Amino acid sequence: MYEGSITIRIAAKVQEIERLNRLIRQFGELHDIPSRALYSINLALDEVVSNVVLYGYDQSSEDLIKVHIETSGEFLLATVEDTGREFDPLSLPAPDLNAPLDTRQVGGLGIHLMRSLMDSVEYRRHEGKNLLSLRKRIR
């Protein structure tokens, strides 16, 4: 097991999400992160970054999204930083998964998934940036 970190910068474009996924997988393999934990982390980060790309910026944006990942003892910590529209995903209520499909509110399932996959999720807005921190036990 290695302790380490990586900072990945991607353009706020859908095409960049696969590159992010690939780099996260490589980081996980290099640092011997168990496959189940790595899958959860990658899925949660994919959801977060997809939402930032699709809803945080205008389509013609040239902005960057920064994803910082580090292993620390038994945990993997990931922070997604963007300068898009202010949005606290944790302010959304949990979706009613028991409601009939035709009465459910659109949206929120991805955020619910992210929250259920991680051990903790925190949001803050600082100096014009959205900062979403994810924490997952890996050992």
pTM of the model: 0.88
Q: What is the pLDDT of residue 2?
A: 61
Q: What is the mean pLDDT of residues 61-82?
A: 94
Domains and CATH numbers, the chain: 5-137 (3.30.565.10)
Inform me whether the pLDDT recorded for 112 exceeds 90.
no
Q: Nearest-CA neighbor of 85 among 41, 125, 34, 136?
A: 125
pLDDT band per the 50, 70, 90 thresholds, residue 99: low
